[in-house]
Amino acid sequence: MKINVQPKPTTTIAPYMTGFVVMSTQIGVGILGYQRVVAAESGHDAWISVAIAGLLSHLTIWIICRTLRHYPSADLFGIHRDVYGKIIGNLFSLLYILYFIAMAMVILRGYIEVVQSWIFPGIPIWILGSILLFLAMYTVLGGIRVITGYAIISVFITIWLFFDLYFTLEYARWHYLLPVMEADFKQLLKGALIMAFTSVGYEVLYSIYPYVGDKTRLHRHAQWGAFITNFIYVVLMIISLIFFSEGQLIRTIWPTLQIKTVVYFPFLERFEYLAISLWMLIILPNVMLYMWSASRGCKRMFGWNQKRVLYIIGAVIFIAMQFFVSRHAANYIIDRMSYVSLYMAVIYPYVLLLGVLIKRRWNRREDSSCRDPEISGS
């Protein structure tokens, strides 16, 4: 397996598209209920925890781009081979492939849970799961450019769903935010770490890096994409805190959807039904990018046909969802993956950058030794 990838010019994407990729991967099904779990740790200072998590995501994106900058056109799988060698590198890459598959499954299962709870309580998982998987796989077969285009379209189609927060200001109780900084640093940090699962997704930059046309502008656009999503998260957290009391917020499973129940139009009484339906356009780019990254990793590591691998991954996700039928089982796997994503997407990029720097220093030392006249003369 080659360390660097040289994709065809017809398969590359513009740098500004990476901003939309980061936005579409960071905003998923977790935004519907992250307020409850963060507020359970930080209380009415939960917005500070969300802001801390946002700063952490910006720092992690910088670390990821700093790592990628050491390579002309390498992805995560090539970097693993370069830093750790063939056997250990493949082991780390395999773990990430399994992580990508698990994240795609968890996102799909989480969205199906929302649909079952709010719209169609009796719909079987296999019906909705097969429809969503078909849509995701059909788009992934078009390649990274088609996936990126869909991500951009989904952002523009659904971004207006956040403007309905204006209706909640009529019921705002701003004193719910006081006193500020009542939670100690440990509580704020716990809330920020819990928030990490909702704000991950930027780790797909490792996979799409070879396909970015002008790689020098990747970091800039990825950061503005993360800034927009983090701004949405902070604003939505503040809106939730002034709309619900602290006790209500902790007992509300999906605060974002509950807020939308106050939105009323003469021609549309249940606005949250429309929001849930359109939310499918938001979660699909998450699933597509994770499935594409997993199938791409299998092709890079083993040389397998990416299309056939994609079919296998789709079947694995479909079968895995059938083991988490009950709400308790779904919540269990989502909670477990939140901890896994903390290590895989937030902590590991720092470890990988350290490994790359050590590898580069070792290579420079060997080059200087080879150029030493005494050594070369002997």
Half-sphere exposure of 100 (CA within 13 A, CB side): 28
Q: How far is CA 8 from CA 3, 217, 344, 361, in A?
A: 16, 19, 29, 32
Q: Is the pLDDT of residue 196 over 90?
A: no
Q: Is the pLDDT of residue 338 over 60?
A: yes
Boundaries of every domain in the chain? 9-371
- pLDDT single digits (tens) 238-287: 999 999 988 899 999 899 999 888 877 777 778 888 889 999 999 999 99
**What pLDDT is recorded for position 158?**
85
Query: 3-state DSSP call for residue 265?
Result: strand
Q: Report the DSSP beta bridge partners of residue 268.
A: 265
Measured distance CA(41)–CA(87) in Å, rounded: 41
**What pLDDT is recorded for position 372?**
57
Q: What is the CATH number of domain 9-371?
A: 1.20.1740.10
CB pairs under 8 A, 24+ apart, for 328-332? 330/109, 330/110, 330/113
DSSP 16-47: THHHHHHHHHHSSGGGGTHHHHHHHHHGGGHH
Measured distance CA(260)–CA(212) in Å, rounded: 37
Measured distance CA(338)–CA(327) in Å, rounded: 16
Burial class (CB in 10 A: 0-12, 13-18, 19+), 9: exposed
Q: How confident is the model at residue 375 (pLDDT cuts 50, 70, 90)?
A: very low
Of 374 and 144, the one with more pLDDT: 144
Helices 327-341 and 86-118 pack at an angle, to 10 degrees, of 140
- pLDDT single digits (tens) 199-249: 899 999 999 999 999 899 999 999 999 999 999 999 999 999 999 988 899
